[in-house]
């Protein structure tokens, strides 16, 4: 029995589901029950009947799964797989920012710790940030947005809302530069440029479409275009090619690789199923507070 067969066997025995983010290694994507972005995987975590969730992503994602399914066991195969952006805002810093703007609403990107989510009114993902702001707030509101300044800037430009942005960012998306996009466009002049909103404004301004990872995948499937330049973490290229054999995809950033997203491999997934490790544990009061913003997000997204 090879490692993939053993994983499938244990998954059945443990009543487990394997959730995998689009940036994970190809071999990990191949054993997923569900592959998706933060929003899609949050929804799957809330809906699954499985008693054990094996989350192949970074730690805040596994925390989110635990928040929406506190009665289930959630494990992450590599507990050291953190998110630098999520680490750029602490509870103390958020409380200080809220004290400076006592009348502002507080919106957190899903790329935050459970403790930070517990301090916020509402949560969003890159897929629904614009809609969440439009549906949940009014133009009269000030909205604190943490921690991604680039996503915050994009939301502000699209909606016209008064956004107070925290100066965090994704180091991987920050490596994608407009010069690289221009280079790919010169090489592939007919290609559509698809950009993730965590990229900087100069890159966003070059986009034909600004989309979350799942949005990029949907666009690729539906588009008549045969060539696309992809400005996000390179891991998504594997799924794009797998689902669109008649199309070509070019990465706008050869260095756009999140090392933390690549920390999980098949042996670690197998170990998680064998040992039920590593469990994501959160204090009940954190789950209760953080769940409010996430549940409201899911309701507004439904």
Residues 6+ apart with CB under 8 A from 89: 112, 116, 146, 147, 166, 168
Mean residue pLDDT of the chain comes to 97
pLDDT of residue 121: 98
State how far the alpha carbon of 253 is from the alpha carbons of 52, 77, 172, in Å.
36, 27, 9
Q: Which domain holds residue 130?
A: 86-169+290-301
Which range has the worst mean pLDDT, 36-45, 165-174, 185-194, 278-287? Answer: 36-45
pLDDT digits (tens, 9 = 90+) for 196-224: 999 999 999 999 999 999 999 999 999 99
CATH number for the domain harbouring residue 193: 3.40.50.10800
Do 74 and 37 belong together in one domain? yes
- Check residues 57 and 42 and name the one with the higher pLDDT: 57
User: 51 and 101, same structural domain?
Assistant: no
pLDDT: is 45 or 239 the higher one? 239
Q: Cα–Cα distance between 196 and 182 in angstroms, integer?
A: 16
Whether residues 72 and 125 fall in one domain: no
Are both 41 and 56 inside the same structural domain? Answer: yes
Closest CA to 176 of 153, 158, 157, 198: 198
Contact partners, residue 18, CB within 8 Å, separation at least 6 = 7, 11, 31, 32, 33, 34, 54, 56, 269
Same domain, yes or no: 275 and 224: no
Q: What per-residue confidence (pLDDT) applies to 40?
A: 86
Same domain for 181 and 160 = no
pLDDT in tens, 140-199: 999 999 999 999 999 999 999 999 999 999 999 999 999 999 999 999 999 999 999 999
How far separated are the first and last CA of the chain, in Å rounded?
41
Contact partners, residue 183, CB within 8 Å, separation at least 6: none
Q: List, for residues 12-29, the tens digit of each pLDDT value.
A: 999 999 999 999 999 999
186/65 Cα distance (integer angstroms): 42
Distances (CA, A) of 223 to 32, 126, 145, 206, 212: 25, 21, 32, 18, 16
Contact 235, 216 (CB under 8 A): no
Are residue 123 and residue 270 in the same domain, yes or no? no
- Position 85 scores a pLDDT of 98
- Give the pLDDT band of residue 43 (cuts 50, 70, 90): confident
DSSP state of 118: T
What is the reported pLDDT for 39? 77
Say if residue 155 is in the same domain as residue 119.
Answer: yes
Q: In the chain, how many domains are there? A: 3
Please tell me whether residues 139 and 198 are part of one structural domain.
no
Same domain as 91, residue 78: no
Tell me what pLDDT residue 158 has: 97
CA angle 181/39/142 to nearest 5° reads 85
* Predicted model pTM: 0.95
CB 225 within 8 A of CB 192: yes
pLDDT for 287 equals 98
Lowest-pLDDT range of 134-138, 243-247, 298-302 = 298-302
Looking at the fold, whether 105 and 149 belong to one and the same domain comes out as: yes
Rounded mean pLDDT, 83-100: 98
204 and 273 co-located in one domain: no
């Amino acid at each position: 029995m090879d490692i993939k067969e053993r994983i499938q066997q244990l998954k059945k025995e443990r009543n487990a589901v394997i959730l995998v983010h689009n940036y994970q290694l190809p071999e990990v994507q191949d054993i997923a029950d569900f592959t998706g972005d933060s929003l899609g995987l949050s929804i799957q975590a809330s809906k699954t009947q499985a008693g054990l969730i094996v989350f192949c992503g970074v730690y805040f994602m596994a925390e989110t799964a635990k928040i929406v399914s506190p009665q289930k066991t959630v494990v992450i195969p590599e507990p050291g797989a953190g998110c630098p952006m999520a680490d750029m805002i602490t509870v103390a810093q958020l409380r200080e920012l809220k004290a400076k703007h006592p009348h502002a609403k507080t919106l957190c990107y899903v790329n935050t710790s459970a403790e930070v989510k517990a301090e916020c009114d509402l949560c969003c993902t890159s897929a629904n940030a614009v809609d969440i702001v439009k549906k949940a707030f009014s133009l009269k509101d000030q909205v604190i947005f943490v921690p991604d300044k680039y996503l915050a800037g994009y939301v502000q430009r699209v909606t016209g809302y008064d956004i107070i942005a925290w100066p965090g960012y994704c180091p991987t998306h920050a490596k994608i530069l407009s010069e690289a996009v221009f280079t790919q466009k010169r090489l592939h002049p007919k290609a559509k440029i698809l950009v993730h909103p965590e990229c900087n404004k100069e890159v966003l301004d070059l986009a034909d479409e600004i989309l979350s990872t799942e949005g990029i995948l949907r666009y690729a499937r539906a588009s008549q275009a045969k060539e696309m330049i992809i400005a996000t973490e390179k891991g998504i290229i594997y799924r794009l090619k797998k689902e669109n054999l008649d199309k070509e995809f070019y990465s706008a950033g050869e260095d756009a690789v999140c090392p933390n997203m690549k920390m999980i491999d098949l042996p670690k997934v197998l170990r998680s199923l064998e040992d039920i490790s590593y469990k994501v544990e959160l204090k009940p009061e954190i789950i209760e507070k953080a769940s409010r913003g996430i549940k409201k997000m899911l309701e507004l997204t439904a």
